[in-house]
Amino acid sequence: MKFIRLLLILLSIIYIAGCGGSDSIKPSVNDDTRTITSVKISSDGTLSYTGTGAFEGFSITGTIPALSGSTVYIEKTDSVYVKDSYTALSPLFSVRFTDKASSTPPAVIYNAVVTLPYSLSGSATDANTVFLALINDHAVIQTSTKPAANIIRAATSIPLTFFAGYLNEAEEPQTKKVIKLLSKSFREAMDDNEYFERLGMPLPDIIRGTANVQPGERVALGIDENTFGESVLNVQWSVRKSNGAAFHSDTGTETVFVPDSIGKYTVTASVTGSTKNTTENLTINAFSYSYDKDNNRPYCLLFCHSGSINSPEYTDMYGREILRGEIISAWTASSHAISYNPAVAAINSTSCATCHATGMFFPDRDDSGIDDHPEAYGFDDTMTVNTDTSTASSHLKGVTCEACHGPSAEISGGLNGIISISGHPTSTSISSGVCLTCHNGGFHFAEFYNAGSSTHENANTASPSVTNSACFKCHTGEGALGMIFGKEIKLEDTDRVSGITCNVCHDPHGEGGHNAQLRISGTAELVLHDGTVSVNAGDGKICYTCHNTNGAGIGSVPHNSQAEMFEGKGGHTYGETIALTSAHKAALDCADCHMNRGAGTTHVMTMSINSSDRLTYCNSSCHSGVAVDTDGRYDYLGRTESVRTLMATLQARINTLAGRASDSEISASYNTVTGSSALITALNRAAYNYNFIKSDKSYGLHNYSYASRLLELSIDDLTSF
């Protein structure tokens, strides 16, 4: 206990009030799941509270004379989520001395003893694996072991937030790379560091975030703290050219340098953390764009990637043939290949060529009117006047291979000289950075993906436990791509871990032939608790890949049930065939509502953001009465409120039969309840339906008829007990 107190005092920034550190708890925890109560400390300093109702099973005791007469606030947040490799088996409980959460660290902490109720579920089947976990914005601190089967009692400190939970299987990324390539999108660059070409046209000084660059292109580097495993205190950076000459040095967690000539640059980062150090190298290749003068096309498509080589033995980690011929035919027909269209050519603008051509990123950095690095042989390097169309670089009209993968050639003797592929990329990042150099605004382009705050982009940072096999497949881009291509990808299969980035869902080559160059669409197979079913998901198939129950059965809590709810599948129907009457399924897929219709915000998926734009779309396309209530919740003709009412009725009935307070949290299983086997079976079925609907998080918006009928059936089934 002394150690815990010392640690809490030293790390004053760890104070979490309410659900502080919510960036690490899944963002679906919201005000609907929070309940607050309070208790007075007596005049002699005694703190004593035994919960009832929503707080049944929770208690706290302590002696705090210094705070006699003060009010203690206790907040409960229902949660089935994870934090720093721990899964919560109980709600989160926050004990504090203010009625609202505060980011101010506590000046003093006090001893207390707490009792928390919890239910064993998931891979936690033994009470000896359950701990009381203190939560802060950096980590979970384990404080006790060996609780009773349904209650954990332990000494702790307050104010603080804690829960009963167990440690997930988590693999330490021992060999993962800590140096990460940073990027700066079109929009960010225009807002932050644009420059002006000779005729006064502003151009964005973007950063692609690739290991292959052209001379004169900025390279930005940082440290991946999640992979490093702790906070980074400092980094010593050094960059050397291939001849060993020192080129760049810097200190700090990030650095930027600009290669000034063709060649390889070795980056060394010496990282200092709070308890450990490491040193790592990364090679940056600065080369020219490849060009075959006789065929007027990039070398990539002339030889190896032309489809003329049959080498099925060479595959990537997803099982795809690396030299497959489908790439050239698919890319040739893609929007990328034809992006330098007649309309762009007619405008003849450097600002358009920045994105619609390859190698037009970095002209005139010094405003001289002459490109700084003509040896790069990019689109602009054969132009004598900035506003003249390049006539000798037709192979670079459009978004070609090297626009995304980076240049790889070394050319001697000018454009008609000898070319060698000296810097061929050995791997390709799936980071969104290279996509956002164009797909992030601009002069007329209205798509962007808010990578900084996107829960998709940052899914891999939700918790260290995302590295275990169950979480890895949806919380990382590598795992999700593995599911899409039918190949199980594990942590050890990749040296970097990414979130759900642009090209996890979209195929830059367009090989699948799907709408919006999606990776997949059409028929999806859903694994239900009682079998499998095939559904026509349309474009929503890409979403269904992760947003499904994954076969969670009765006696467990489904993690996500959006796909099943939308399709009207997966609930326990008590033998009744529930007709699907949702107009949403008949006319829409996920993107119709979740991709915001406001200009410039199409990839903001969260419904609570820009709700006015979404309401306008709903009420102009299908409905005429969709509104957001005072709590910020969508409703149509009172339907979501009706579902909430039915859920409250079912919750009260389950708890009454289980001998608990009517507003107690619904458990995954009621196998420990005293009663007949028929009662326990009925409670487990009803609890599954309740949690199935709760995990969908739409409260009937996805499929009102299906959700309400499941609740009615469960309520009716329990009336016989």
Cis peptide before 159 (omega within 30 of 0): yes
pLDDT in tens, 471-488: 899 999 999 999 999 999
Amino acid of residue 171? E
Q: What is the 3-state secondary structure (H, E, C) of 133-178?
A: EEECCCCEEECCCCCCCCEEEEEEEECEEEEEEEECCCCCCCCCCC
Which helix (DSSP H) or strand (DSSP E) does residue 706 occupy? helix 704-718
pLDDT value, residue 143: 61
What is the rounded distance in angstroms from the CA atom of residue 282 to the CA atom of residue 179? 7
Cβ–Cβ under 8 Å, residues 537 and 523: yes
Q: Looking up tokens 């009172």, which residue turns up? A: 638
pLDDT score of 514 = 93
Q: Is the dihedral of CA 419, 423, 427, 429 positive or negative?
A: negative
Q: What is the pLDDT of residue 486?
A: 94
Tokens describing residue 697: 């998080």
Residue type, 379: F
Measured distance CA(422)–CA(299) in Å, rounded:
12
Q: Which domains does the chain have, with CATH numbers?
A: 2-167 (2.60.220), 179-436 (2.60.40.10), 520-718 (no CATH)
| Residue in 493, 501, 497, 494 with CA at minimum distance from that of residue 431 | 501
For 109-123, letters b (16+ CB in 10 Å) and e give: bbebebbbbbbbbbe
Q: Which of 134, 131, 140 is nearest to 157 (CA)?
A: 134
Q: What angle do the packed helices 639-658 and 704-718 form, to 10 degrees?
A: 20
Q: Which residues contact residue 163 at a Cβ distance below 8 angstroms, ignoring those fewer than 6 apart?
A: 79, 86, 88, 89, 90, 91, 92, 93, 116, 132, 133, 135
Residue (of 284, 321, 323, 287) closest to 306 by Cα position = 323
Question: How do beta strands 246-251 and 92-96 pair?
Answer: unpaired
CB 362 within 8 A of CB 194: no
Question: Alpha-carbon distance 78 to 90, whole Å?
Answer: 8
In SS3 terms, 473-515 reads as HHHCHHHHHHHHCCCCCCHHHCCCCCCCCHHHHECCCCCCCCH
Question: Is residue 363 within 8 Å of 350, Cβ to Cβ?
Answer: yes
Looking at residue 135, what is its pLDDT? 67
In DSSP terms, 160 is beta-bridged to: 95
Are the CB atoms for 638 and 614 separated by under 8 Å?
Answer: no
pLDDT recorded at residue 481: 96
Q: Which residues of the chain have pLDDT under 70?
A: 1-34, 78-86, 101-107, 121-129, 135-149, 167-175, 193, 196-200, 292-296, 361-374, 380-393, 415, 441-453, 464, 581, 596-601, 608-610, 630-632
Q: Which amino acid is at 202?
A: P
